[in-house]
Amino acid sequence: MREPIPTWFFVLVVVRLGRRFLVVRESKYGQRWYLPAGRVEPGETFFKAAEREALEEAGIPIEVERIVRIEHTPADMGTARVRIILVARPKDDSPLKKDGDDESLEAAWVTLEEFNKMPVRNEEVRELFNYVASGKTALYPKKLISEEGRPFE
């Protein structure tokens, strides 16, 4: 019998409000700016993880709308990482988080021009925001990800 491959699952959430994107200044990783993201917890769906991360890190409820892509990265150590990149919108006009904690120091709505002047944790976020803003993206419906046993539509 083969041993299972330990796999870590993560969500990254591009939250848009018109021309603005939601960013969070992390309390870790040099306190740089990033997008709401994090590990999927046991028993949690990708969409519920995205909602939780946005609420914890930015203080707002979101509605996941589309899927940008699914990334699978096997590691040499016999482990793997899966990242699901999603696009979402705010559910309402809740104010952004103002008080820092272990999850993040603050959150902000920024244009691409504003974001390009900010120190970021990883340059991939700039590329991702530009990709989504371009309108040329292939965004996939949420039903692309489903639980086993659900009917095929």
Flag whether pLDDT at 108 surpasses 80. Answer: yes
What is d(CA 86, CA 66) in angstroms, rounded to the nearest whole number? 6
Give me the residue spans of the domains in the chain.
7-134
| Neighbour-count burial for 8-22, b at 16+ CB within 10 Å, e otherwise | eebbbbbbbeeeebb
pLDDT at 47: 97
What is d(CA 136, CA 145) in angstroms, rounded to the nearest whole number? 22
What is d(CA 1, CA 130) in angstroms, rounded to the nearest whole number? 45
Residues 73-107 have pLDDT tens digits of 998 788 999 999 999 999 999 999 988 888 889 99
Residues 16-29 have pLDDT tens digits of 999 999 999 988 76
Assigned superfamily of 7-134: Nucleoside Triphosphate Pyrophosphohydrolase (3.90.79.10)
pLDDT > 90: percent of the chain: 73
